[in-house]
A and B are shown apart, each in its own frame.
Chain A
Amino acid sequence: MAERERLLTAAGIGVTAPVSPPTVGFVPRAQVMSADDVRRALTRIAHEAVERNHGLESVVLVGLQTGGVPLVRRLAAELERIEGTAVPVATLDATFYRDDIGLRPLVPEAASDIAFDLSGLTVVLVDDVLFTGRTVRAALNALNDYGRPRAVQLAVMVDRGHRELPIRPDYVGKNLPTRRDELVDVTEDGVAIGELRGS
């Protein structure tokens, strides 16, 4: 789930109409990555993934709804540019596997789209921001319902710390120290850090 939306819903903003993630409420304080920085980070992550997996055979990309979806498409394009082969891309919504259902409103953004059996494949899970690790935990459970991957690797644009579960990323765009109440916003234009207004 997109970091921005996750925090906004936690703050009770835009709770039941997540058709488009609300942008009100986020006050950016500083730009921490430019659009070019994000592009370069994606290129580096692509190279690291190719190197670690000795190519792209049996590698599939899975983008997490919603923040991971634009990134997974860009990463796939980078990989194809580098290696010359297309990597299968899927999207995953892990809402129904979350451990905070009933604690706050959680409505799926879009249906998962995984059109193949993941058994025996290496899955690179892609999200925008890694924070508590709970979304990734839910995603790992969800992935298992689509087969038994040979391995799952995690790629994130920003690792902002504050993990609550023993989860670590394999590929990181940027390590960004944050306060818990801050908000990290990853968009086409780069990465900004800021606060929620009125929360």
Chain B
Amino acid sequence: MTNPNLLSVADLGADGIEEVLRVTDSFVEVSARAIPRVPALRGRTVVSLFYECSTRTRLSFETAARRLSADTMNFTITTSSTTKGESLRDTVETIDAMGIDAVVVRHSAAGVPWQIAGWTEASVINAGDGWHEHPTQALLDCYTIRRHRKTLEGLRIVVVGDVKHSRVARSGVLAFTALGAEVTLVAPRTLLPPSTEGWPVEVSHDLDAVLPKADVVYLLRLQNERMSEALIPTLREYTSGYGLTRRRAALLQDDALVMHPGPINRGVEVAAEVTDLPRSVITQQVANGVAVRMAVLYLLLAGGAASESGEPALA
């Protein structure tokens, strides 16, 4: 029997997202304790398989697994047999043979988590595949917003910046709109996908015009490492058009939230002069990330009879 996976926000739907957020409450409580650990996943093994650099996501997943008393295995590409030319499939089958319950995958190519799901019985969790999806980031963003606003229903969320290369934006748009928010993408034409048709979003190129009405401003990281051509004239020009400058920060509503998935390019998405972001919840995003990932791991691995009866906690 194959374990349930978390590959895409789309698989979850609004009900699945709500379920994860509800269970996250319990893990926020666990994380706040003097000894933030429960025995729920004792004896399970969670592997992180990261083919791309990551600080927060990898540490966040490993912390989440340990707080659930699961064992963790950490695969780092530079010290692995991948450098000897081992294929992805061989690597996965090798790890699978050690007896594992979940694989947390990050890869620069879209779709890799789906492929891996076909090679292993373990639960596969997508921790970012290329430009495609990053579901747990979207879940923790929804959770963080919900901590401040009771619901996402009717909220105006403005997603600013490098939408084209952003899996955070893709998963975010799916999750925010599933929960009833109105999403506006703001970016230069070169940093938007070729088409946003079929996406339930509005598109604007004028940040100043949309900021005063925004409930949430979500700044995306400018992904220099994924840019193969000159998509913006200069970083300074990008910041003056799409960065959060001191002047723009003053346009925000008093209770608007400022979010960023990290890592921040200081002086680019946020102008250097804005040292302390107004109403920034960026560190809360990181803290909530651990609890959300605990909820995801718990729901995937503790499902038991649910998955046998064809009603997995997560699809």
Q: Are B313 and A107 in touch, CB under 8 angstroms?
A: yes
B1-29 interface bits toward A, Cβ cutoff 8 Å, 1 = contact, 0 = none: 00000000000000100010011011011
A148 to B16, CA, bound (A): 37
Q: Chain B residues near A104 (CB, 8 Å)? A: 304-306
Given contact pairs A93-B26, A146-B33, A12 touches B38 in the complex (Cβ within 8 A): no
> B191 at the A/B interface (Cβ < 8 Å)?
no
A-B contact count (CB 8 A): 72
Task: Name, among A95, A108, A112, the residue most crowded by chain B CB atoms within 10 Å (CB to CB).
Answer: A108
Binds A, one of B137-145, B226-234, B260-268, B295-303: B295-303
* A12 x B29 contact (CB < 8 A): no
Q: Do B304 and A96 touch across chains, with their CB atoms under 8 A apart?
A: no
Residue of A nearest to B40 (CB): A96
Whole-angstrom distance between the Cβ of A6 and the nearest chain B Cβ: 13
A102:B301 contact, CB within 8 angstroms: yes
Q: Within 8 Å of chain A (Cβ to Cβ): is B274?
A: no
A91-135 at interface with B (beta carbon < 8 Å): 93, 95-97, 100-108, 110-113
Closest approach, in angstroms, between the C-beta of A153 and any C-beta of chain B?
Answer: 23
Known A12-B309, A96-B38, A101-B40: A106·B304 in contact at CB below 8 Å: yes
Chain B residues, CB < 8 A from A112: 26, 29
Of the candidates B15, B19, B30, B309, the one whose C-beta lies within 8 Å of that of A96 is: B30
A111 with B304, Cβ < 8 A, contacts A96-B40, A101-B40, A145-B35 known? no
Does A15 sit within 8 A of B, measured CB to CB?
yes
Q: Evaluate whether A16 and B311 lie within 8 angstroms (CB atoms) in the complex, with A101-B304, A102-B301 already known.
A: yes
- Is A16 a contact of B306 with CB atoms below 8 Å? yes
* Contacting residues of chain B (28-56) with chain A, CB-CB under 8 angstroms: 28-30, 33, 35, 37-41
A interface: dominant SS: loop
Q: A74: shortest Cβ distance to chain B, in Å?
A: 24
Contact A111 B33 (CB under 8 A): no
Contact status B28-A111, CB under 8 Å: yes
State the Cβ distance, A88 to closest chain B Cβ, in Å: 17
Q: Identify A12's interface contact among B23, B39, B298, B305, CB under 8 A.
A: B305
Contacts of A111 in B (CB 8 A): 25-26, 28-29
- How far in angstroms is the closest Cβ of chain A from B45? 13
A16 to B23, CA, bound (A): 11
Contact at B305–A103, with CB atoms within 8 Å? yes
Q: How close is B309's CB to chain A, nearest CB, in angstroms? A: 6
Smallest beta-carbon distance A172→chain B, Å: 29
Q: Which 3 A-B pairs have the closest CB atoms?
A: A105-B306, A96-B38, A111-B29
Q: A16-B312, A107-B299, A112-B26 are in contact. List 14 more A-B contacts (CB 8 A).
A: A15-B306, A93-B26, A95-B26, A96-B30, A96-B38, A96-B39, A96-B40, A97-B39, A101-B304, A105-B306, A107-B313, A111-B25, A142-B38, A145-B33
B residues whose Cβ falls under 8 Å from a Cβ of A: 15, 19, 22-23, 25-26, 28-30, 33, 35, 37-41, 68, 298-299, 301-306, 309, 311-313
Q: Which residues of A contact B (CB under 8 A)?
A: 12, 15-17, 19, 93, 95-97, 100-108, 110-113, 141-142, 145-146
